[in-house]
């Protein structure tokens, strides 16, 4: 599914991974010369939690117009929301940030980590700017397939090993829901990463930066690397934290994620086994079977919670995935599984809600509908036979997921009936890149969402510097509490000083 950095994880002809120059250069002038109207962030908040964050007077907000369809720049326009913490001193430029997903909000990310930015050295010399890619947060057009209430009720495609779409009719209904909820086909099919990269170039120009300085986590590493490959002459510095392997197919990425998640679950089972009353049992080697026993009652009957919500087996596995995202969460996961075994589902539901960044008032701030829309425009689509085989492969590499509801039967791609073909190649970065500015890749050895070999591959493909971080979580810079990591990234962002070869930090 490859979701956002702070919990998140597909046969038509494809175009190049390097975005082509847009048509109608004369029509692009209005976009490249627009002036940003920085002001209050009141209208940028799309939920109560963000409204509280964005009320901080240190923040400024604006929006930038971009073509909805770059092949028709004189046509409809999209708007990209921006949030800025102005530099404390004289600004040398902007640091543009994407927190991952697809589906994560950069405006919310900057606001959520405002104290770290305010107390850090980068904001002395750079404006800190988060953006909501098209379809996300305050950007328009919004991409909606299902309501928050439908996500609460589970009346949506649910993700386990793959999405639980088991017929062509379901795939058609899913695509139609997304078309209608997003205001039409054109809005939906222009959401892919190739257009996000084009939007980033307009943002760079409008922000007044001759060259881009960028920080991208997880999925953000994809768009950062794509920009670097497309516009090497317009890049100052690019940090790719928790980088995705550019030579992996989507199925290979998912299998790598599930393999890493299984490794983290095995470690959770070993941690749990140190306690005499471990819910996963005294033998970590038998923990997969014990987990299946715990979740089996929910396959047919969801567990109600005190607030009236029902917790399904799908919710449990999303909660487990969230709990595995950082070693600091493992005791919480063990406690949640213990309570679930006793018939209490509130704790595992809280983890599941964290996976989606669901707020207390029921708003899903990680945009799952946009996640699907972007991936449907990025990834080649598997046939039902391939999707079904892929679910079985997940069970092989991650037996914790190996219950029939998740991996048996017939599965169809969530993108099977999508109204346009993908716009990215596989692999999505060319293998023969040369002469690129030196980027910095940060990769964690125990990352369950973007496994370490992907970061190694990203650094090799880009000819980038690699900072290896010994740690078991997703996301390192500012998120891991490591002065070693933060100092290394700050040195690169500020003065383009890369770590020495074979540099390592730990969390």
37 is catalytic: no
> Which of the following is catalytic: 182, 193, 218, 465?
218
Give residue-wise pLDDT tens across range 365-389.
Answer: 999 999 999 999 999 999 999 999 9
Of 239, 194, 193, which Cα lies nearest the Cα of 96? 239
Write out pLDDT tens, residues 387-444.
Answer: 999 999 999 999 999 999 999 999 999 999 999 999 998 899 998 899 999 999 999 9
Which candidate in 199, 241, 447, 486 is catalytic?
Answer: 447
Q: What is the pLDDT of residues 216-271, one digit of tens each?
A: 999 999 999 999 999 999 999 999 999 999 999 999 999 999 999 999 999 999 99
Among the listed residues 127, 474, 482, 486, the single catalytic one is 474
For residue 317, pLDDT beyond 50: yes
Residue 455 buriedness (CB in 10 A; 0-12 / 13-18 / 19+): buried
User: Domains in the chain and their CATH numbers?
Assistant: 36-140+194-248+431-506 (3.40.50.1820), 250-356 (no CATH)
Q: What is the mean pLDDT of residues 174-181?
A: 98
Per the DSSP assignment, residues forming a β-bridge with 165 are none
**CB–CB of 398/158 below 8 Å?**
no
CA distance 454 to 313: 30
Residue 99's pLDDT band, with cuts at 50, 70 and 90, is very high
Q: Active-site residue 411, yes or no?
A: no
Catalytic annotation on 447? yes
In percent, the amount of the chain with pLDDT more than 90 equals: 92
Residue 100: HSE in the Cβ half-sphere, 13 Å Cα cutoff: 25
Output the pTM of the full model. Answer: 0.94
């Amino acid at each position: 599914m490859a979701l956002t950095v702070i919990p998140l994880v597909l046969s038509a002809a494809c175009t190049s991974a390097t975005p082509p120059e847009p048509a109608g250069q004369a029509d692009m002038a209005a976009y490249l010369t627009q002036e940003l109207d920085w002001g209050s962030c009141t209208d940028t908040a799309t939920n109560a939690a963000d409204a509280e964050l964005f009320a901080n007077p240190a923040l400024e907000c604006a929006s930038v117009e971009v073509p909805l369809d770059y092949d028709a720049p004189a046509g409809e326009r999209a708007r990209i929301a921006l949030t800025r913490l102005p530099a404390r001193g004289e600004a040398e430029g902007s640091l543009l940030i994407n927190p991952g997903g697809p589906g994560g909000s950069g405006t919310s990310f900057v606001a959520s980590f405002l104290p770290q930015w305010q107390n850090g050295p980068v904001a002395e010399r750079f404006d800190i700017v988060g953006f909501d890619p098209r379809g996300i947060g305050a950007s328009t057009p919004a991409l909606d397939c299902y309501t928050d209430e439908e996500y609460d009720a589970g009346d949506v495609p649910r993700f386990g090993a793959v999405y639980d779409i088991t017929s062509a009719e379901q795939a058609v209904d899913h695509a139609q829901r997304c078309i209608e909820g997003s205001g039409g086909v054109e809005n939906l099919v222009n959401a892919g990463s190739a257009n996000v990269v084009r939007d980033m170039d307009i943002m760079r120009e409008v922000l007044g930066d001759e060259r881009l300085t960028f920080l991208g986590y997880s999925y953000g590493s994809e768009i950062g690397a794509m920009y670097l490959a497309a516009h090497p002459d317009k890049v100052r510095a690019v940090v790719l934290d928790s980088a995705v392997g550019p030579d992996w197919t989507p199925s290979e990425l998912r299998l790598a994620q599930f393999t890493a998640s299984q490794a983290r679950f095995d470690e959770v089972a070993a941690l749990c086994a140190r306690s005499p009353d471990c819910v996963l049992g005294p033998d970590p080697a038998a923990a997969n079977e014990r987990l299946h026993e715990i979740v089996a009652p929910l396959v047919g009957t969801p567990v109600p919670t005190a607030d009236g919500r029902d917790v399904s087996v799908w919710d449990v596995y999303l909660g487990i995935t969230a709990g595995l995202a950082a070693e600091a969460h493992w005791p919480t996961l063990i406690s949640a599984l213990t309570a679930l075994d006793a018939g209490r589902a509130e704790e595992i539901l809280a983890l599941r809600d964290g996976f989606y960044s669901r707020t207390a008032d029921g708003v899903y701030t990680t945009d799952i509908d946009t996640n699907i829309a972007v991936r449907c425009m990025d990834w080649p689509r598997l046939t039902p036979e391939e999707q079904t085989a892929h679910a079985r492969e997940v069970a092989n590499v991650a037996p914790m997921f190996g219950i029939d509801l998740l991996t048996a039967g017939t599965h169809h791609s969530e993108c099977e009936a999508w109204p346009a073909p993908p716009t990215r190649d596989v692999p999505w970065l060319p293998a023969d890149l040369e002469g690129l500015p030196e980027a910095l890749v940060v990769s964690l050895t125990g990352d369950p969402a973007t496994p370490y070999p992907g970061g190694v591959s990203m650094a090799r493909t880009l000819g980038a510097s690699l900072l290896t971080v010994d740690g078991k979580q997703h996301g390192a810079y500012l998120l891991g509490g490591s002065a070693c990591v933060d100092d290394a990234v700050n040195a690169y962002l500020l003065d383009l000083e890369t770590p020495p070869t074979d540099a390592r930090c730990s969390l």
